[in-house]
Structure 1
Amino acid sequence: MRTRLGALWPLGAAIALALPVPLLDLHFIHTESAPIGLWRAHPGAPVIGDVVRFCMREAEARMTAGRPYAGGRRRGPCPYGTWMLAKPVVAGPGDTVIHTPEGVWINGRTLPKSATRPRDSAGLPVPASKYGLIILGPGELWVHSPYADGSFDSRYVGVVQTHHVSGTMQPLFTWLMPAQRTALRARGVSPSRCSLVACVRR
């Protein structure tokens, strides 16, 4: 009996380690739009600086389905088989957003390197959200990442409704890739001083 139990202990340990994952709602984020690593999703109203995960609206999902920044060929839980996006929140209810092809302004302050690109890195056209002045109402968020020059965020998917947000992400074990550090420095932010929220908080 001892021999049989001893042979089964690795399986038992694996099950014990796997069981808490769904309960804790753990996720490995590997997009450059947020620090790479292990995060836990938790409920609650997002605030400026939080990283949120959400599904795109159907129009944007239909246009970008199958592309790497929409999850690639592996089908996800969102419209048209796309995957949830994980992006930092930079503006919320009551904030004023000005979106132009040349850049984005939040309450009169420009977001560095926030021009909207007409095509992605593969040369394919990408959607551009509505240009002009937007005053965010209740339950509305604007997401934008300082960690990646080509972040697929509200410049393309538009205002994010909080009822499309499935969780606010809490970092557990994360790090910055070289490209993310370069992007932060280009925005005048020191990666060594940049906490997971300080890069996007006002």
Structure 2
Amino acid sequence: MKIGKPKTTTIKKILLATVLVVGPVVALSATGFSLNTTECLPLGLYKSVSKPITIGSLATTCIPLRDTQEGLRRGYLDAGTACYGISAPLIKIVAAGAGSVIKETPDGVWINGKKWPMSKPLLHDTSGRLLNPDVGVHILEKGQYWVMGLNRKTWDSRYYGPLSKNELLERQTPVLTIQGNL
């Protein structure tokens, strides 16, 4: 009488499933493609382009190391090697650069006097953990950039402040996306 399959069969199936899922994602990444699975931008496939990163463009970004470590602990970031050897980058909109005045209030973010859509910062994440919005006025210096998403729940410069030019990796363009409920 056979009660159950040996554990090695289960392990082999898990390994095979992992290879079938992770393998294509790694292969896409190696060819300049990124998969956005968050709601900060439309879900889907993005590709690196050789154009310079400009205000208004999409870019893969690393965030400051202390925030990267916190993001990994909280599950906001995926593991990877592109950012400090420990996390995968995020795709964000480069909303502002040098000379821009960012005013972050409990009601939202104003960039040079214009309110960014759905930018009211949250005080807690979806797990109820405390967030610390970077409320105040920021005047971006040369080499600093403010990045945003298109969803109130996006983890963006509202929480970690401006990024340096070195933290903007590559310009991205949508290839195949699904417009969700942002």
- Give the TM-score band, short-chain normalised: 0.7 to 0.9
1: CA distance between counterparts of 2:64 and 2:154? 17
Residues 52-201 of structure 1 correspond to what in structure 2 (within 5 A)? 52-71=59-78, 75-77=79-81, 78-79=83-84, 81-129=86-134, 131-146=135-150, 148-177=151-180, 179-180=181-182
Name the structure 2 match of 1:12: none
1:126/1:156 contact within 8 Å kept: yes
Kept in 1, the 8 Å contact 2:122–2:152? The answer is no
Residue equivalent to 2:48: 41
Give SS of 1:172's match.
Answer: strand
- C-alpha change, 1:82 and 1:22, in structure 2 (3 Å) is closer
**What is the CA deviation profile of residues 135-168 of structure 1, one whole-angstrom value per residue up to 9, with x for unaligned ones?**
212221111122x220111101210112111111
Show structure 1 runs of 4+ deviating over 6 A: none
Q: TM-score, normalised by structure 2?
A: 0.75
Q: Deviations over 1:109-146 (max 9, x none)?
A: 122332222210001123433x3221212221111122
In proportion to residue count, which structure has more helix? 1
Number of aligned positions between the proteins: 158
> What CA distance in whole angstroms lies between the structure 1 residues aligned with 2:111 and 2:126?
26
User: What is the TM-score normalised by the length of structure 1?
Assistant: 0.68
Number of the residue aligned with 1:187: none
Contact 2:120 2:152 in 1 (8 A): no
Sequence identity (%):
27
Change in CA separation of 1:106 and 1:52 when aligned onto 2, cut-off 3 Å: same
| Structure ranking higher in strand proportion | 2
What residue number does 2:57 align with? 50
- In structure 2, list runs of 5 or more residues that go unmatched: 1-23
- C-alpha deviation, 1:108, in angstroms: 1.1
Q: Deviations over 1:6-48 (max 9, x none)?
A: xxxxxxxxxxx99x84664112211111122221113443222
Query: How many Å separate the matches in 1 of 2:166 and 2:50?
Result: 12
Over 3 Å counting, the alpha-carbon distance change for 1:61 and 1:21 in structure 2 is: closer
Q: Is the 8 A contact 1:34 1:145 kept in 2?
A: yes
Unaligned runs of 5+ in 1: 1-16, 181-202
